[in-house]
Amino acid sequence: MSKQVKQLICDELVQKFRDVDACMVVDLTPLDGLTANALRGEMAKANIRMMMVKNSLAKRALADLPLAPVGGLLDGACALAWGGDSIVDIAKLLVDKAKTLPLTIKGAVLEGQALDAAAATGLSKLPNRAELMSMVSGQVLSPGAKLAAAVLGPGAAIASIIKGRIESLEKSEPAAA
């Protein structure tokens, strides 16, 4: 490959990964073409992209980007997966697919740090962005609900006692008449 072609490929990789801060590295070589394309299509539905890379060109292109630590994970045939809402979504999808397909997770890069295969697989057990947002909103709303219950509880108890007393007085008045 000529130097100009290599430079064009590096420039394209820089453009694609300029704003990416997390990705996973996967080995897809055991998959046949149809299975790999089906996997890519399924990932595209989740807004996750995957691309096979030439290791030396990827290391050179990503050296000045937040994904620079990925260079240590690039050994043998590699594909980079990125996109989605978070790296957790990518990990969950790939770990789920690794149960049925012969793909290998080599690692991940998250916030400028390289993760080995075990840590990258462990990302799939974490809550994703949507789950975290619902947990945080539940935590924020919980004290307000407890406060409302504490404020309304005694008043409701007093109202119930008064209502019971009124009903008992109404029942006893016809008997007295």
> pLDDT-based confidence at 20, cuts 50/70/90?
confident
Determine the topology of domain 3-126 in CATH: Alpha-Beta Plaits (3.30.70)
The reported pTM is: 0.69
Domain edges within the chain: 3-126, 127-177
CA distance 99 to 105: 11
The type of residue at 20 is V
Taking residues 92-101, what's their average pLDDT?
A: 91
Nearest to 100 by CA among 27, 23, 24, 39: 39
pLDDT over threshold 60, residue 28: yes
The C-alpha angle 31, 109, 105, rounded to 5 degrees, equals 25
Helices 3-17 and 55-62, axial angle in degrees (round to 10): 60
